[in-house]
Amino acid sequence: MRNPICLALCLAGVSAGALADATIYGTFNAALESVSATGATAGSASDVRQTQRVTSNTSKIGFKGQEDLGNGVKALWQVEQEVSIDDGGARKGAWAGRNSFVGLEGGFGKVLLGNHDSAYKMFGYLVPLEDGSADFTGKDGLINRVSRLKNSVQYRSPELAGWLLGASYAADEARTQTSNGQRSNGQVWALAARYRQDALQAGVAFQRNGEQLSGNSLLANHQDFWKASLRYTLGSTELGVGVEHERMDMARGRDQRQTAWMAAATQRLGAWTLGLAYVRLGSRQGADTATLKAADYQADQWALSAGYDLSKRTQLYGFYTRLNNRAAATRNFDSSAIAGVAAGSNPTAVGVGMLHRF
């Protein structure tokens, strides 16, 4: 039996009672796009010419459930994975590749063990059209460039007077042996706080990634991220701003630093939602070689979107986005990157799509 979902259900010995305690949920999100990446620093031979594609974006399916243990305490579990509805799984679809965990919830909050977004991602920026080419908050995007934490323990506090706190720790189980014979430690920890009151939501977060390697040589002693965001809702209008700073404590030479900021707005007009977003990645500072000092790693991205709700769960949408890389920058789209983007090229996408949540 090759289907992982069927295999998991069979191994669990699914009964009618077990299914009653489980929820199946997900998002299917596909778009027809025209994309290109031209203007490469090395010349037109490095350009990605205009091409059409169908993208699955972040389509996913998940299974979750809970058990009442008494005294206000519940056991929680979840398995979630991305699925490729565009090509049958050639690029995505790893079992439990997204937030998957077992944990407890009670008056103390939540404690989770597994593969899960860190506390750093506990609150988000205002993104008019998430999980696609018009997004900018993924590992290839210009902002929020941190990954999901494997082998992690997560804590989320109960909400009190508008405040929600979070903490994360991820162990480095590989502990790669470096070129000098020592074992690296890439452990990750994060702290975050969010405040929400009426139309206002604000948050701050910090994450430290442990030792960073280049091959088996120590590149940086650690990598730090800080961010802050603010969102405000005024009737059918929502406004958001955010800033993020990254610092690499280099093993040799001067530390490297880079800052990004963003601003976005959405406007509801009946069943329509219009969105506009801009994000800018500043210059890389602190590099200690002539090559890096002269290089320009700045980038920015515009995104314009419109969505029409067919129902509470189904939406049609269209968008245009352009990412401008300076001479040395190679930034790409978030969850739908263009293959072969060269330094200095400018990824551009225009498309229409459909999203359904269940």
55 in any annotated domain: yes
Domain that holds residue 196: 29-357
12 in any annotated domain: no
Which CA distances in Å does 48 have to 45, 229, 260, 319, 344? 9, 34, 26, 20, 12
pLDDT of residue 217: 86
21 in any annotated domain: no
d(Cα 218, Cα 210) in Å, to the nearest integer?
11
11 in any annotated domain: no
pLDDT of residue 140: 63
Supply the CATH number for residue 217's domain: 2.40.160.10
3-class SS at 262? strand
Please report, in tens digits, the pLDDT of each residue of the chain (358 residues total). Answer: 445 555 455 445 544 455 558 999 999 999 999 999 999 998 888 889 889 999 998 899 999 999 999 999 999 999 999 988 887 765 565 688 899 999 999 999 999 999 999 999 888 899 999 888 999 887 666 787 777 899 999 999 999 999 999 999 999 998 888 877 788 898 999 999 999 999 999 999 999 999 888 888 888 899 999 999 999 999 999 999 999 999 989 888 778 899 999 999 999 999 999 999 999 999 888 765 544 555 788 999 999 999 999 999 999 999 999 999 999 999 998 878 888 899 999 999 999 999 999 9
106 in any annotated domain: yes
300 in any annotated domain: yes
184 in any annotated domain: yes
9 in any annotated domain: no
| 207: nearest Cα among 118, 126, 285 | 118
DSSP H or E run through 19 = helix 16-20
d(Cα 256, Cα 203) in Å, to the nearest integer?
25
How many domains in the chain?
A: 1
User: Considering the entire predicted model, what is its pTM?
Assistant: 0.86
pLDDT of residue 336: 82
pLDDT of residue 92: 62
* N-term to C-term CA, the chain: 26
pLDDT of residue 178: 81
Chain CA centroid to CA 331, Å: 15
